[in-house]
Amino acid sequence: MTTVRWGIVGCGDVTEVKSGPGFQKARGSALVAVMRRDAAKAEDYARRHGVPRWYSDAEALIRDPEVDAVYVATPPSTHCDYTVMAAAAGKPVYVEKPMALDHGQCRMMIAACAKAGVPLFTAYYRRAMPRFARIKALLDAGAIGTVRVVSVNVFRAFAPPVGALPWRVDPAISGGGLFVDLASHQIDLLDCFLGPIADVSGKAANQAGLYRAEDVVTATFGWESGVRGTGLWSFSASGDVDRTEIVGTRGRILYATFSDAPVILETDAGIESLELPFPAHVQQPLIQTIVDELLTGTPVCPSTAESAARTTRIIDTLLATHYAVG
């Protein structure tokens, strides 16, 4: 195989710019089929993006002999079923984040792919973006000395929509609220930068009463290395705060996760502002590593099923009390 031919299950908004074009532009990759339950929307997507075939049935796309690998871009409630289906068809799977509704489903997906002998990747694409790869390189090189503490703060106001609430705040579809959708990226990056989180505790609650899902989460983290961390996420507060700070024995790194504001490196040598803009298609760097791995058999993708399952396990722990009483 010299080209990985991809099929997308769920060609919704996330595939328009973030991911879909990445399959067409990555070396050794082609997007050959898309699926959406609304046939007219699937056909429209295929026409606009120059995709040869479209489907309104996921199984039909997965069974297509011209599809080598499947990208599951549906909401989390269907990730497990479609991943198991693709694995049974012998197709490698790239699944959107968060990986599944809960850690139990993650383990089912991993087991199904292992049994079928196919790889499973997860779309924590920030791991491969130049911005975050540079932060990891700085940490690995000891630019701020030995890391001691981490803090994550996210504050956003929620504007109630006209009509139905978005699926991202429906726990039955998303697994929780905006915390699950957004903080999963931040927790995954901490796993990437500092290794697996060894212990976590915290609380989730709903302060604004706009929906059932959590809208505030507090957390404390610990790593086997001795690093300690805190997190505070509020989705009913004023302002727009997106700030992570990693402090070491000789300096600190400050960065935003969801914007390309400059990364700040502070050391005894001074303050450096690093301009590291997002790529045009944010998933393309990660897609390239997946394609390279599928074509060569050499593990190069930094976002694995196991790392993604760790992130879901952390989320489960932080949300457990809220949903137990909710």
Cβ pair 70, 32 in contact under 8 A: no
**DSSP characters over 159-187:** -PPSSSPPGGG-HHHHSSSHIIIIIHHHH
DSSP symbol at 56: S
- Give residue-wise pLDDT tens across range 40-68: 999 999 999 999 999 999 999 999 999 99
Sheet containing 29-35: order of strands: 53-55, 29-35, 4-9, 69-72, 93-95, 120-122
CATH of domain 130-278: 3.30.360.10
Give the whole-angstrom CA distance, residue 275 versus residue 260.
Answer: 8
Domains 4-124+282-303 and 130-278 belong to one CATH topology: no
321's tokens:
């009390």
Q: Which residues contact 150 (CB under 8 A, 6 or more apart)?
A: 190, 194, 221, 227, 228, 229, 230, 244, 245, 246, 247
Q: Which of these, 58, 314, 53, lies nearest to 183 by C-alpha position?
A: 314
Measured N-to-C along each axis, helices 305-325 and 103-116 cross at an angle, to the nearest 10 degrees, of 150
Domain locations along the chain: 4-124+282-303, 130-278
The structure tokens 């195989």 sit at 1
Question: Residues 302, 306, 310, 312: is their CA dihedral positive or negative?
Answer: positive
Cβ contact 250:269 at 8 Å: no
* pLDDT at residue 159, rounded to an integer: 81
pLDDT score of 300: 98
315 within 8 A of 217, measured Cβ to Cβ: no
Is the separation of the CB atoms in 9 and 74 below 8 Å? yes
Closest of 14, 119, 7, 96 to residue 59, by C-alpha: 7
The tokens for 11 are 């060609």
* CA 144 and chain centroid, separation: 27
Task: Give the pLDDT score at 83.
Answer: 98
Domain 4-124+282-303 CATH assignment equals 3.40.50.720 = yes
Low-confidence ranges of the chain (pLDDT < 70): 325-326
